[in-house]
Amino acid sequence: MPADNFTVSYYDTVYLLKSIIEKVGCNKPAIRDALAATKDWKGMLISYQAMDKAILHIHSASIATRARRLN
């Protein structure tokens, strides 16, 4: 199956969460807060920045992170 346009974002998401878990451990509220505090995290091709507790901004596109589900 060929890679789709979102493959890099999927890869980045896994490594963003990995880096957060390495810093704060498996504490769900701490993961949520660290994700919401993301500023200029360098992905493979683009940078990511949290806009608020539910949105992770990717340059001109926004993705809902569903941070509340980590409670």
- The predicted-structure confidence for 15-64, as pLDDT tens digits, reads as follows 999 999 999 999 999 998 898 888 888 888 888 888 765 556 554 344 44
**Domains contained in the chain, number:** 1
8 Å CB contact between 37 and 20: no
User: For residues 54 and 66, is the Cβ–Cβ distance under 8 A?
Assistant: yes
In a domain, 11, yes or no: yes
Q: Which domain holds residue 44?
A: 7-70
Query: Is 61 contained in some domain?
Result: yes
26-56 as b/e: b if 16+ CB within 10 A: eeeeebbebbbebeebeeeeeebebeeebeb
Residue 1 lies in a domain: no
Give the pTM.
Answer: 0.66
